[in-house]
Structure 1
Amino acid sequence: MPTLSNSLESGYRSERLADGGVDMFQVLKRMSRLAGEHRKNLTMAYIASFFEAVLEKIPVFMILYAFMRIAAGNLRTVDFWIVLSVVIGSLLASILLRYIRERNQSGSGYMIFARERLSLGEKIKRFPMSYFTEGNIGNLTAVITSDIKFIEEMGITQLTTITTSFITLFVTLIMLTFFNPYIALVMFCGCLLVAVVFHEIQKIAKRHSAFVQEQQQKTTSAVIEYIKGMQVIKAFHLVGDQQKRTNSRYRALSDAQFAFEKKFVVPAVVSDSIIALSIGAVIGILALSFQSGGLTLPVFLMLLIFSFEIFRPLSSLVNVSAEVRLMEACLDRYERVKNEKTIADTGTNREIKNFDIAFREVSFSYKDTPALQNISFHAQEKAMTALVGKSGSGKTTICNLISRFWDCQNGQILIGGIDIRELSFEQLISNISVVFQKVYLFNDTIYNNIAFGKINASREEIMEAARKARCYDFIMALPDGFDTMVGEGGATLSGGEKQRISIARAILKDAPIILLDEATASVDPDNEHFIQQAINELVAEKTLIVIAHKLTTIRNASQILVLDNGKIAESGTHDELLGKNGLYKKMWEKRAQAALGKWTVAMKQTAKEGTV
């Protein structure tokens, strides 16, 4: 009886043909295209599987041969050895064919999807950052962890079942047509009736699986959000509330899957009943033929045994139908991710003679929300350009566009006079180091996290980068030194320590352009001192774009751009901007007031009034 696992991950395309057999052949074609250079291995597995199925029938025919000899009264010793030799030979050949099938089938599956995982990994790197901020994380997680794994481990195995079952059904029907047309007719009618039920199963899958897919994606997203937000959940004592929301998603998924399974109960029972009745009809025909003298006893006994095998390929097809549908759904979702639009990488490696940066009437919007509006400026080579402004003014967007995390919708961004879209993505990124305020370290050793900046770096280079980033001493104080595991996201280190390690890998990369989201805004004074020293090592003789949170750190900038609502409101040096009596001066004065402690006094006064 066909069943679907409660781990059903996704739905199926509504455009699919309802006919089950056609769908199965469509899946075979898609897998063949996906196999690429491994297609011949899958073909070999199909052939081996077919002959393995044929050899399984040899013992039945040898039993018939023995019965015929016994009935004729002339069973000789040589006949016994013939039967024994053929049966043993067929079993040994079956073992060999099974080895060939498994080697070509499973081995090819793992190699195909090892290639696909690497290909997908390369493609994900070129997705625009908007893809990761539009609710796609749950979907992408399901594709990588569930869909590919299912096709790799189970889907490939079922392909040989499909191929062998269809071929065996066809060959059996031809043989029976010549041997006993009545049995062939029963088999043909049984296949037609099961095909009708199969058709209904496919219709059910199409109608109801999209909702199951939606519930699965929502559940995955809810779990990811719950885990990632655990610190906030605990801090605000929302464990119970958030747990209830997550549990409700699990219940919704469970209800959807149960309803989906329930739809298959009736057609499954009907298909099993048709097969059972067809076997009964075959046995009845055999009994009548034997009674009327149309069959000898040996032939009757052989066909009686064989009658239970006639419909086994059909039963196998019904049993794997749900898995084939799931495999098709996994392929659909995988191909949607694979066909996702990426940032175009049509550029080439070109000689960059200098590393100044120019924006020419650049505009950019996050969907319908303008972030930059006709921005133009020039950042000199080996000089500091600082970006200041309130939150949401466009500072981070400028850095993201330089790195091509997104592409601007209008205008040009040039490095050394060359449009960055004319440079290959690898060349562009190799010339830029980014130090984020929110640092992410991989769940690996400190050594490997620093080495991420330059994969082929020597140990001496990594040590020197750590010294320049002022993190060597605290690393060596750890029990395992540079081999210390930092945990996911660098969970075992403080914020300042993570910042210095991120600066170390930027120093190791030694790119001519530095994009720096000022890292000292939220660390203690000791770490701030070390981080500032590390930054000084990092930015020496570099083109520096810095997002400033503390105006005191950019007083010596060659150029300060004051951003307001996606536009450049002011530009100039620190002294020039103070003389303009504009937005920058107001920001400077507010910072000065904060430094004098006036905000602290205000908070204390509020507390006395009982409102804090």
Structure 2
Amino acid sequence: MPYIQERLGLSDQGYKDLKKAVFACVIANLTLLLPFVVIIQVITTLIIPLVTGRDLDTNRLWMLLAGGIFSAILYALAYKYEYQKTFTVAYAESENIRLDVAEHIRRLPLSFFNKKDLSELTTNMMADCASIEHVMSHVVPDMIATVITVVIACIMLSFYDWRMSLAMFCILPISIGIVALSLGIQKKYGERHVKAKLNVSGQVQEYLDGIKVVKAFGLAGEKSIALEKSLRTMMKEAIIFEGAVGVFIVLAIMVLQVGIGLVVWVGVNLITAGSLDAMTFLTFVMISAKIYTPLVVILTLWPELLYMMVSTKRMQTLRKEPLMDGDENTVLTNYDIQFKDVTFAYNEEAVFKNINLEIPENGVTALVGPSGSGKSTISRLIARFWDVNGGAIYVGGKNIREIDPERLMNYMSFVFQDVVLFNDTVMNNIKIGRQGATDDEVVAAAKAARCEEFIRAMPDGYNTVIGENGNTLSGGERQRISIARALLKDAPIVLLDEATASLDPENEMQIQEAISALIQNKTVIVIAHRLRTVLDADKIIVLDNGRILEEGTGEKLLAENGLFSKLYRIQQESLGWSAGNH
């Protein structure tokens, strides 16, 4: 893969478009030189009669006028072509990169998100993609095209008069050398500035996420300090970066501007010596003024490019994060689940070590135990949100590490305690369960999930937009929409994670009815704190500190007087507590 394509993370089409953009910029730059040629010819035509006493060649002036109009039209066409091949394709490629990054993030294991902040991922998708867009549209094509244009101009002018051409371009290597000396400083302070910006994004995200707590406990002053400090740090790093790099860039530009004076000095000396005519001298002075303008632009864009490379490098690191793989064509015919010698840890924190368990198909298996015992981890390992560190998990006799995660998801439905809804209609939120479902199928799932009554009461029924994360709905309503999704998907394996843990009795009863409809003839894994809700489960697995302590039916475990029996008694006693008891 070419270096530029790899560094910018461009698709093959994006790289082809970038080359076309460079070509378009070269054409635009060269056509922009044509008016100067016309102007020089006009001046020559006007001066000749003054020097020789001949009549003014008006026909030539008319021809030059036509040439000027033609060059203006040619430049307009070249600029339009340049715009299409730079800005338009840059926006399209930026969109493709964002979609590619979003798809890549979607397929990453959850272990990746333990290491990354939401604000950093948001920056990757938005700010970093915007940097690539800017590099493709404003920086790289202009820089490369300017270099090519300058080289072409240097060669052509050398044939015209090599001495004046050398005077025009000999100062350029010195300017480039000054910029090169600043590369280390640019990298150091550029990375510090980017790090400071990421810190600000994280602080803003945290402040907004916790705004309810900030207001409820009057923490505005305390919680603003960290945000204010991060903003001041970013400002300080920006000033240092701009100042340190700016000194070198300004110096390089000042040295480059000396080139115009050098052209004049050499030209005057050559005219005095009689080896250069005035029109050639005038030509070089005018062209040098035109040539140095894009060279100054290059010197200005160079540190900007290096700074943006910090962002693009971070994006490349993200896009190289390994995805979970597996067979996309796996077909499961039965749905029993087995853990065989499974060992798992979140980073360095061990959760399970060599555990074994079996979950029979077409039955309800409950996972219970104290908080932090590993109940939710088991459900997430079954869904392959993480891969185990040792041992294996089998579904229908097949190792899930050999099944493509998305293929595996086709066989599973989830109902979590923390429901995630989107700022969209009720209809579309339920359709997430199965994208190709008809409206009638969505309505049938909503009725089975006991959603019909509150949906019909909404202003636009199923077409009502429910706000960010369903903020216009109650907890019970959000939970029932989640169950409607699972009903619509109709997967053979259902995972229920604390689905009724935070609900009032009325909502709990309705949701229990909805769940009863959901789990018919399914392999069901239920995670519950309220032990009375799982007493009738076909199998109960009791966990504590990542170990399986007990297994069996509710009746059997109560009779054994172990941890399950102890937890059950504590919960029953707590039901008799009220605010008046003291």
TM range (shorter): over 0.9
For the Cα contact (< 8 Å) 1:155–1:327, is it kept in 2?
no
Does residue 1:53 correspond to 2:29, yes or no? yes
Tell me which residue corresponds to 2:571: 591
Higher relative contact order (CA 8 A, sep 6+): 1
Residues in 2 aligned to 1:63 and 1:113: alpha-carbon distance in whole angstroms? 41
Tell me which residue corresponds to 1:109: 90
Deviations 1:452-491 (A, max 9, x none): 1111111111111111111111111111221222221211
Does residue 1:122 correspond to 2:103, yes or no? yes
Does residue 1:192 correspond to 2:168, yes or no? no
For the Cα contact (< 8 Å) 2:337–2:394, is it kept in 1?
yes
Does residue 1:392 correspond to 2:372, yes or no? yes
Tell me which residue corresponds to 1:66: 42
Using the TM superposition, give the Cα deviation of residue 27 of structure 1 relative to its aligned residue in structure 2, in angstroms.
Answer: 6.5
Deviations 1:89-118 (A, max 9, x none): 111111112222221222322232322222
Alpha carbons of 1:156 and 1:271: their partners in 2 closer, same or farther (altered >3 Å)? same
2:482 pairs with 478, 493, 502, which one?
502
**Aligned to 1:34, what secondary structure does the other structure show?**
coil
Superposition map of 1:398-437 within 5 A: 398-437=378-417
**Aligned to 2:418, what secondary structure does the other structure show?**
coil
**Aligned to 1:57, what secondary structure does the other structure show?**
helix
Residues in 2 aligned to 1:307 and 1:271: alpha-carbon distance in whole angstroms? 17
Using the TM superposition, give the Cα deviation of residue 403 of structure 1 relative to its aligned residue in structure 2, in angstroms.
Answer: 0.8
Deviations 1:8-35 (A, max 9, x none): xxxxxxxxxxxxxxxxxx8645468724
**Aligned to 1:370, what secondary structure does the other structure show?**
strand
1:529 pairs with 481, 505, 509, which one?
509
Structure 2: give runs of 5+ residues left out of the alignment: none
For the Cα contact (< 8 Å) 1:32–1:39, is it kept in 2?
no
Q: C-alpha root-mean-square deviation of aligned residues, in Å? A: 2.0
**TM-score normalized by the length of structure 1:** 0.90
**Aligned to 2:10, what secondary structure does the other structure show?**
helix
- Amino acid aligned to 1:333: R
2:115 pairs with 134, 138, 148, which one?
134
Tell me which residue corresponds to 1:516: 496
**TM-score normalized by the length of structure 2:** 0.95
Tell me which residue corresponds to 1:251: 232
**Aligned to 1:514, what secondary structure does the other structure show?**
strand
For the Cα contact (< 8 Å) 2:194–2:310, is it kept in 1?
no
Tell me which residue corresponds to 1:183: 164
Using the TM superposition, give the Cα deviation of residue 166 of structure 1 relative to its aligned residue in structure 2, in angstroms.
Answer: 0.7
Tell me which residue corresponds to 1:147: 128
Using the TM superposition, give the Cα deviation of residue 43 of structure 1 relative to its aligned residue in structure 2, in angstroms.
Answer: 2.3
Superposition map of 1:195-274 within 5 A: 195-274=176-255
Residues in 2 aligned to 1:32 and 1:224: alpha-carbon distance in whole angstroms? 27
Using the TM superposition, give the Cα deviation of residue 353 of structure 1 relative to its aligned residue in structure 2, in angstroms.
Answer: 1.3
For the Cα contact (< 8 Å) 1:348–1:422, is it kept in 2?
no
Using the TM superposition, give the Cα deviation of residue 341 of structure 1 relative to its aligned residue in structure 2, in angstroms.
Answer: 2.5
For the Cα contact (< 8 Å) 1:435–1:515, is it kept in 2?
yes
Residues in 2 aligned to 1:63 and 1:231: alpha-carbon distance in whole angstroms? 68
**Aligned to 2:182, what secondary structure does the other structure show?**
helix
Using the TM superposition, give the Cα deviation of residue 364 of structure 1 relative to its aligned residue in structure 2, in angstroms.
Answer: 0.5
1:91 pairs with 61, 69, 72, which one?
72
1:166 pairs with 147, 158, 181, which one?
147
Residues in 2 aligned to 1:532 and 1:263: alpha-carbon distance in whole angstroms? 65
Using the TM superposition, give the Cα deviation of residue 567 of structure 1 relative to its aligned residue in structure 2, in angstroms.
Answer: 0.8
Between 368-377 and 288-297, the greater mean CA deviation after superposition: 288-297
Using the TM superposition, give the Cα deviation of residue 208 of structure 1 relative to its aligned residue in structure 2, in angstroms.
Answer: 1.7
Alpha carbons of 1:486 and 1:133: their partners in 2 closer, same or farther (altered >3 Å)? farther
For the Cα contact (< 8 Å) 2:171–2:259, is it kept in 1?
yes
- Amino acid aligned to 2:525: I
- Amino acid aligned to 2:219: L
Structure 1: give runs of 5+ residues left out of the alignment: 1-25, 606-612
**Aligned to 1:457, what secondary structure does the other structure show?**
coil
**Structure 1: 4+ residue segments shifted above 4 A:** none
**Aligned to 2:200, what secondary structure does the other structure show?**
helix
For the Cα contact (< 8 Å) 2:31–2:78, is it kept in 1?
no
Using the TM superposition, give the Cα deviation of residue 268 of structure 1 relative to its aligned residue in structure 2, in angstroms.
Answer: 2.4
